[in-house]
Structure 1
Amino acid sequence: MDLNLIEAFVDIVDAGNLAEAGRRRGVTRSQVSRQLRELEQQAGAQLLRRTTRRLEMTEPGQALYQHGLRILQEVASAQAEIDSLGKTLRGHVRVSMPTGLGDAFVAPLLLQFAQRYPGITLRVFFANRVVDLIASEIDVALRVTSSPPLDHVAREICPIDWELCASPAYLERVAPPRVPADLTRCHFLCPPYGTRFVLALNREGQREEVELAPHLQSEHFRFLLQAVRAGHGIGLLPRYMSWDEVRQGHLVPVLTDWKPEGLGSSLYVITTPSRHPTMATRALIAFLKEEIGKLPVFNG
């Protein structure tokens, strides 16, 4: 079978219709339709069933699609291997990361990566929620979680510590908490969780849970950090967001004998299952694991 036709078929399935596949490939809808007919003639079977609303794969189409994905991955890997022999890595990687982590730390690292590997192009997404990497067309995702998806490949980069902190001005207005239960009389700022937040804290084998009514919630940690610094309450923040503010004295840790549990205990780099990831993807993963691990906030 013609490899170009197989690639066109994979694009058609991923796009969901001929017109969108044509736009992605830079050709007309009629050209894509002709390529599909040629491939069906070569395969000797109908690959797609046209309904009034969408295209559906037939059983032969499903088989060819799965094999086609593997074939194209092999070709991309082979090309990357060949390019690497010439000491120049080439390829394109789509990477996603949480906004706070990305803004504060990963964005500068990606610029270093782009300078080190000028043959690799990047498309960078800042998003806190990317559930389906395939549907979102993401090659590499950085995620803070305690339960990485089982149907993906998750490589742990480092643990993520969380801490409770407040501004000195807020702690002058409200008596600093001495025990976890004291948090109930404070304004509590945290990531989105719901109308009631059950905060778990640990100390030397002892565990306590406190049910709190959040005063302010946001998944944008920079905004949450600004609110804590402005004296709106006690915030639950990942340490990578608060550490520099604490270091400069703008924020004060609260209940330092207790370690709070946040919404995710480790930073992972997550990819879709593939026996042969491209050299560009592998280079980015190795770079992120090495460089993030060197950052003081994750290394001390």
Structure 2
Amino acid sequence: MDRLTAMRVFVEIVDRGTVSAAADALGMSRAMASRYLEGLEDWLGARLLHRTTRRLALTDKGQHTLVTCREMLALANDAVAQAGQGGAEARGRLRLTSSPSFAMAQLTAAVVDFQASHPGVEVDLVMVDRTVDLVEDRIDLAVRLSNRIDPGLVARRLARCHSILCASPAYLERAGTPRAPDDLRRHRCITHSTGFAPEYRLTRDGEETIVEARGSISANETAVVHAAALAGAGIAMLPTFFVGDELAQDRLRQVLPEYALEPLDIQAVYLSRRHQPMPLRLLIEFLSDRFGGEVAPWDRRR
């Protein structure tokens, strides 16, 4: 049995969801793909996938084996590229996750530009507004907005995420413009439903003021908070990477601009520095170059 091919078949089955889809992608019959999978399981002495009539699911052994197979295939691809066989073009498939709002505003366009230079790299975008398990969800790279790093993971800072308070001109004309943090207590706020009491931490000249945010609309996704603010529902805290066009077009106006909200790091998070596939290394470098610098590109226009 060609064990490297068997590993490639196993990874494709997991990524594509069925043996048939993996066989089509690899240009082989379904029966041959099944034989490779069975051969790999026989060699390892363990079942890698639970098979039902509806779907395939990784076993515990399959979860660990998947990580190893990805590393082995990455090393093999890198060896071929470095030896000059078949050219040095990066090839492979990456699963990338981020919040829907950052993906909509910045990340998707960045991925498209990355693929223009590296057409051999397939990218599967998994957009969820929650922290995913990189191993369980088979994620190669997570772009997270957080000042904390999960134990056991590696993170590289890409940029800083600043947020502002803003509202539509119609709302401010109707309800008035806040002049001080305490004025926010009399306004309707559109909040993020995070499970914690919504509040704004506003800093000016080194002094922090904490104001409870009260309102009748909350949402667990930034795009919905953004839409509610545009519709005139109240004052919202939104990241600057998401509201640049609306501020420039006066569809949203910043509130209390002399006060700063706590910034967050935008981080590239991955499992290990060792045995990184070439496509993953290239993508991390690309995102660092695109979003990096003292000021993030979306804030340079402000």
Q: Does the TM-score normalized on the shorter chain lie above 0.5?
A: yes
1 CA distance for matches of 2:39 and 2:132? 32
Deviation at 1:260, TM superposition (A): 2.0
Aligned residue pairs: how many?
Answer: 286
- What residue is the counterpart of 2:183 in the other structure? 182
Could you tell me the percent identity over the aligned residues? 26
Contact 1:47–1:57 (Cα < 8 Å) also in 2: no
Contact 2:63–2:136 (Cα < 8 Å) also in 1: no
1 CA distance for matches of 2:181 and 2:85? 55
2 CA distance for matches of 1:212 and 1:47? 54
Over residues 119-178 of structure 1, what are the superposed CA-to-partner deviations in whole Å (9 max), with x where a residue is unaligned?
222222222224111221221221111213222111101111011011122112213222
Which residues of 2 match residues 1-300 of structure 1 at below 5 A?
3-4=3-4, 7=7, 22=19, 25-26=22-23, 27=30, 31=35, 34-36=38-40, 38-39=42-43, 46-47=45-46, 70-82=71-83, 86-194=87-195, 196-261=197-262, 265-293=264-292, 296-299=297-300
- 1:35/1:241 Cα in 2 relative to 1: closer, same or farther (>3 Å)? same
Contact 1:9–1:36 (Cα < 8 Å) also in 2: no
Deviation at 1:37, TM superposition (A): 6.4
Over residues 101-130 of structure 1, what are the superposed CA-to-partner deviations in whole Å (9 max), with x where a residue is unaligned?
211222222222112112222222222224
State the secondary structure of the residue aligned to 2:292: helix
Return the TM-score normalized by structure 2. 0.78
- 1:80/1:285 Cα in 2 relative to 1: closer, same or farther (>3 Å)? farther
2 CA distance for matches of 1:9 and 1:279? 19
Deviation at 1:237, TM superposition (A): 0.4
Contact 2:48–2:58 (Cα < 8 Å) also in 1: yes
Contact 1:83–1:90 (Cα < 8 Å) also in 2: no
Unaligned runs of 5+ in 2: 24-29
Counterpart AA for 2:264 = S
2 CA distance for matches of 1:50 and 1:87? 33
Deviation at 1:222, TM superposition (A): 2.7
2 CA distance for matches of 1:75 and 1:248? 51
1 CA distance for matches of 2:290 and 2:21? 34
Please tell me whether Structure 1 or Structure 2 has the larger radius of gyration of its CA atoms.
1
State the secondary structure of the residue aligned to 1:74: helix
Contact 1:81–1:279 (Cα < 8 Å) also in 2: no
Counterpart AA for 2:197 = R
State the secondary structure of the residue aligned to 2:257: coil
- What residue is the counterpart of 2:26 in the other structure? none
State the secondary structure of the residue aligned to 1:189: strand
1 CA distance for matches of 2:75 and 2:202? 48
Deviation at 1:79, TM superposition (A): 3.6
2 CA distance for matches of 1:87 and 1:56? 35
Over residues 30-74 of structure 1, what are the superposed CA-to-partner deviations in whole Å (9 max), with x where a residue is unaligned?
73674156415xxxxx545999x999778xx99988866654443
State the secondary structure of the residue aligned to 1:249: coil
Counterpart AA for 1:39 = W
